[in-house]
Amino acid sequence: MNKFFVSMMLMLSFNLQAQTDSGAMTKSLVGIKYFNQMMGNVHQNASRFSQVLTTISCNHPVKVMKQTSKDGKDFVMFGDNDWYLVTVGPYDGYIMADYLSDKKSVCFEEEYAKFFDGLELDINDLYYWARLYDQYVQGKSKVRQ
């Protein structure tokens, strides 16, 4: 009887904790954007060095989400305003804002499908190519010549 009481109390405490956590922030859909690089990753956190949840390729549709706090503040961009909160399939994660566009772009693997298919890349190869794209720093140099 005592074990039953303890297990019931544990289940109730976990249920209560889950209810309070889910009420903290609500997510809603902002829109659909398209991934505009050859390959990339959905990250667990708003950092290029964080855990990878899944790998996507060019023109993959991505649901951009916003989070609303209890006090009504909306959060769309994260990590120094460089990352979007996104949903891709069953995964909720982050993608760099520069890698998303409103319209589909011209992709190498679509333009040269026979060449790309001839490479016969497996899932590991795609993952490592996407990790390489994560490490690129794009922009203009601020160094004077």
CATH code of the domain containing 112: 2.30.30.40
- Residues of the domain holding 130: 26-135
Q: Model's pTM, two decimal places?
A: 0.73
User: Per the structure block, which two tokens stand in for 116?
Assistant: 């790309």
CA distance 115 to 120: 9
Residue 39 dihedral angles phi and psi, to the nearest 5°: -150, 155
pLDDT digits (tens, 9 = 90+) for 52-65: 999 999 999 999 99
pLDDT digits (tens, 9 = 90+) for 15-52: 444 444 445 778 888 999 999 998 999 999 998 899 99
In a domain, 50, yes or no: yes
Q: What is the DSSP letter of 35?
A: E
In a domain, 91, yes or no: yes
